[in-house]
């Protein structure tokens, strides 16, 4: 591997985990904090195999699958498995869409300032 490729690989490996706070799922004044890595090409490819128009028209089903795949706790353990899908499908649309939007695009300026 070239020196440049090694430097790029090292930068990718040391990326900081991002997080989103979900007040709807926590206690008053104590939102649930979900951690995640930025959405990458591998994630996109996996979801596009199942949802052909994922890149241009992500469905709520696809959003839930993305959340299941990406969300971790503070220790890096997956929070959800496929068994949690029915529970997440019963969550409020706005909550799922907001979590997915932050995972897919990264936090916006307002979210980043809160985090």
pTM to 2 decimal places: 0.83
The architecture in CATH of the region 16-114 reads 2-Layer Sandwich (3.30)
Q: What is the pLDDT of residue 12?
A: 81
Question: H/E/C letters for each residue in the chain?
Answer: CCHHHHHHHHHHHCCCCEEEEEEEEEECCEEEEEEECCCCHHHHHHHHHHCCCCCCCCCHHHHHHHHHHHCECCCCCECCCHHHHHHHHCCCHHHHHHHHHHHHHCCCHHHHHHC
Instruction: Indicate if the pLDDT at residue 111 is higher than 50.
Output: no
Domain extents for the chain? 16-114
For 22-60, the pLDDT digits (tens) are: 999 999 999 999 999 988 899 999 999 999 999 899 999
**Whether residue 110 has pLDDT greater than 50:** no
């Amino acid at each position: 591997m070239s020196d440049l490729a090694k430097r790029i690989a090292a930068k990718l490996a040391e990326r900081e985990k991002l997080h989103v706070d979900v007040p709807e799922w926590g206690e008053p004044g104590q939102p649930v904090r979900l951690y995640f890595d930025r959405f990458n090409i591998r994630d996109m490819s996996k979801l596009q195999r199942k949802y052909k128009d994922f890149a241009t028209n992500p469905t709520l089903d696809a959003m839930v699958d993305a959340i299941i795949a990406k969300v971790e706790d503070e220790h890096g353990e997956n929070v959800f498995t496929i068994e949690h899908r029915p529970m997440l499908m019963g969550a409020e649309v706005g909550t799922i869409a907001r979590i997915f939007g932050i995972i897919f695009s990264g936090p916006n300026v307002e979210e980043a300032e809160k985090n």
